Amino acid sequence: MRGPHNILRLIRTLATFQRTGALPVILQQAEAPARLRLVAHLLAWPFTWLGLKGDPALPPVVRAITALGPAYIKFGQILSTRPDIVGGDLAMQLRYLQDRLPPFPTVLAKQQIAAELGPEAIDAFTDFSEPVAAASIAQVHSARLIDGREVAVKVLRPSIERAFRVDVDAFYTGARIVEALLPFSRRLRPMDVVRHFDGVVTGELDLRLEAAAAGEFAVNTSADEGFRVPAPIWNLSGRTLMTMDWVDGISLADTDALDAAGHDRTVLGARVLQLFLNHALRDGLFHADMHHGNLKVGPDGAIVAYDFGIMGRLDPYTRRVYAEILYGFIRRDYRRVAEVHFEAGYVPRDRDIDEFARALRVIGEPIFGMDATHISMARLLSYLFEVTERFGMRTRTELILLQRTMVVVEGVARSLDPHINIWQVARPVVEAYIRENVGPRAALRDLAQTARVLARFGPRLPELVEQRLIRDDAEPTVIVRTPSRLKPMAVGAAIALIGVAIGALI
């Protein structure tokens, strides 16, 4: 029964946009041709009665998104940071989705706390306020502990897991339909993308994981000037709630209040972008939901981050690839950018590297010829993915999350400083990473690490290689064996000596 239900959900999505009046707004903003607008309305009109009404007091698009549920709200939150895509008026409307959604009753929040931690847990709070912010998945209350410390208590919305499950299941169905009807899309792996989104959502619905991410993120960024992460309070946290230190601040969306408080929005815009790049490249752990509603400015001018349900991770190799791609574009060295794609295996080796480099130049040169206010790193990544698709690059889910976050972060930075030059701000961060992680010193460090790993497995290495050769060869192979006692000792000792020597050099 799930398949028909998901089809109905997808139909209801289109019908809801029609019924709330959001469909013509979106088609107009997308500058859709008249013929496409007519077809869209003809498809939606027979099902209008299936559409959700939503809150008539809200603007049409916000009304449709809030009616459709949390997954759609997440998408709307991202678009709220991109006035260059959806227009300034619509972007302002979509900001409603970030932290001003209708709250659920405080009594339900207290019941959830008691169910999670026990009835006595409520006694740990001397004060427990009405909701101070309500988002798609949870809402936040301010409270005070017995020791006088002020804290924030985040509580999941009742039945939110079931609501998300409905949306995600529908997305799976939509991905299957796309793959079946549009065979060329299979290389982009729509199902894998949905699985990745599913994993992210699953993690966000367990606040214990968010508390762990907040703790790790706080350690990584403890030395970052002008940045702060509230500490989680573990004994008052669980799967459906999380308690953290309270930090007063002004939302980055409230530019008038920032100006009135004397904060330099140009400095804040640059800091947001540089912090994100540092976290992604230096640490390999970045906040992947950095919209206005999750960022505030404290009284001391420091940026305070919240909501760590969606965190992105990049392994060391992917970080280097990403940095070299950005650095190559900054230097306009398109041949090197092409080589990085081939070396990383992102583009099949049977493609023409010179042709790929020319295609990259077509991307880069127009962007660098633009006025600073139009130079967009997010746009570059979008164009880059379009070109790599043509050259056979398969979708990489970790890069999709990185690109999505880059879109959000760039939107936040531009809302603070409309004249920001993204590349000028990013350059020192990328160059510092390249100096430290790409070059002879980095190569020696990698070699030393490899040698240390090999030294640990040295005694088993000949046996493993031998077994691999025997398994891979279809024809009988003559194996030359060394004496069993000398073989592991010699290899292990040699590799260990190499590791020690390189480690001493570093």
In whole angstroms, give the CA distance from residue 203 to residue 309: 7
What pLDDT does residue 303 have? 95
Q: Among 99, 167, 289, 417, which one carries the catalytic annotation?
A: 289
> Taking 60 as the threshold, does the pLDDT of residue 503 lie above it?
no
Quote the CA–CA distance of 419 and 478 in Å, as a whole number. 69
Give the per-residue pLDDT at 294.
87
Which residues, including other chains, have CB under 8 Å from residue 193's CB and lie 6 or more apart? 175, 395, 397, 400
Contacts made by residues 90-96, CB under 8 angstroms, sequence distance 24+: 90/25, 90/29, 90/61, 93/59, 93/61, 93/62, 94/61, 94/62, 94/65, 95/253, 95/292, 95/293, 96/58, 96/62
Collect all residues with Cβ–Cβ distance below 8 Å to 465 and sequence separation of at least 6: none
Q: Give the model confidence (pLDDT) of 242-255 as tens digits.
A: 999 998 899 898 89
243/449 Cα distance (integer angstroms) = 39
The confidence score (pLDDT) of residue 109 equals: 92
Q: Which of 19-33, 170-184, 337-351, 376-390 has the lowest mean pLDDT?
A: 376-390
pLDDT at 289 over 70: yes
For Cα atoms 320, 410, 362, give the angle at the middle one, nearest 5 degrees. 65
Most trustworthy range by pLDDT among 69-83, 157-171, 208-222: 208-222
pLDDT band, very low/low/confident/very high, at 492 (cuts 50, 70, 90): very low
**289 counts as catalytic:** yes
Q: Which H or E run contains 502?
A: helix 486-505
User: If you average pLDDT over each of 188-197, 285-294, 299-308, 485-494, which comes out highest?
Assistant: 299-308
What's 6-34 look like in SS3?
HHHHHHHHHHHHHHCCHHHHHHHHCCCCH
107 pLDDT band, cuts 50/70/90, is very high
pLDDT tens sequence across 427-446: 888 888 888 877 666 667 66
pLDDT at 481: 42
pLDDT at 504 over 50: no
- pLDDT tens by residue, 136-194: 788 899 999 998 999 999 999 888 888 888 888 887 887 787 677 656 555 556 777 67
Mean local confidence (pLDDT), 305-317: 86
Q: Residue 297: pLDDT above 80?
A: yes
Inform me whether the pLDDT recorded for 485 exceeds 50: no
Percentage helix, strand, coil, to 5, in the chain? 65, 10, 25
- E strand residue ranges, 232-310: 241-245, 250-251, 285-287, 295-297, 303-305
With vertex at residue 201, the alpha carbon angle to CA 56 and CA 393, rounded to the nearest 5 degrees, is 110
- pLDDT at residue 23, as a whole number: 86
Owner of token pair 């000596």: 497
| pLDDT score recorded for residue 236 | 93
Q: What is the mean pLDDT of residues 12-40?
A: 80
Average pLDDT along the chain = 79
Residue 491: predicted pLDDT? 41
Tokens of 381: 């990544």
Query: How far apart (Å, rounded) are the C-alpha atoms in residues 350 and 39?
Result: 41
- Which tokens go with 341? 């794609």
pLDDT score of 208: 92
- Tell me the percentage of the chain whose pLDDT exceeds 90: 22
Alpha helices in 369-396 (DSSP H): 377-390
- pLDDT of the residue at 273: 92
Q: On the CB side of 22, how many CA atoms lie within 13 Å of its CA?
A: 30
Residue 7 has pLDDT above 70, yes or no: yes
Of the listed ranges 183-197, 330-344, 482-496, the least confidently predicted one is 482-496
Residues 6+ apart with CB under 8 A from 316: 284, 437
pLDDT surpasses 80 at 88 = no
User: For residue 144, what is the enclosing H or E element?
Assistant: strand 138-145
Residue with the bigger pLDDT between 110 and 135: it is 110
Task: Identify the three-state secondary structure at position 78.
Answer: helix
H or E, element range at 227: strand 227-228
Cα–Cα–Cα angle for 212, 214, 432, rounded to 5 degrees? 120
pLDDT at site 377: 65
Residues in the chain: 506
**Greater model confidence, 220 or 392:** 220
Q: Is the CB of residue 437 less than 8 Å from the CB of residue 320?
A: yes
Range of lowest pLDDT (9-23, 82-96, 304-318): 82-96
Residue with more model confidence, 307 or 366: 307
- What is the model's pLDDT at position 168? 82
Nearest to 283 by CA among 245, 324, 311: 311
pLDDT, tens digit, 9 for 90 and up, residues 399-410: 666 777 887 888
**Closest residue by Cα to residue 334 from 360, 365, 354, 369:** 360
* Pairwise pLDDT comparison (463 vs 503), residue with the higher score: 463
Query: Does residue 314 have a pLDDT over 80?
Result: yes
Q: Which tokens go with 58? A: 């809200």
* Cross-strand partners of 312: 286
Task: Using pLDDT thresholds of 50, 70 and 90, give the confidence band for residue 379.
Answer: low
Per-residue pLDDT, 410: 85
Query: Exposed e or buried b for every residue in 288-306, given b needs 16+ CB within 10 A?
Result: bbbbbbbbbbbeeebbbbb
| Mean pLDDT to the nearest integer, 23-27 | 82
159-168 CB contacts, 8 Å cutoff, 24+ apart:
160/70, 160/205, 161/205, 163/69, 163/70, 164/69, 164/70, 164/71, 164/137, 164/201, 164/205, 166/9, 166/69, 167/9, 167/68, 167/69, 167/70, 167/71, 167/72, 168/71, 168/194, 168/197, 168/198, 168/201
Instruction: Give, in order, the Cα–Cα distances in Å from 175 to each of 169, 183, 194, 200, 324.
Output: 10, 12, 7, 17, 32
Which comes out higher in pLDDT, residue 298 or 95?
Answer: 298
Using an 8 Å Cβ cutoff, are 469 and 479 in contact?
A: yes
pLDDT mean over 52-81: 81
90-94, 176-180, 318-322, 481-485: least confidently modelled range: 481-485
Give the β-pairing of 241-245 and 285-287: unpaired
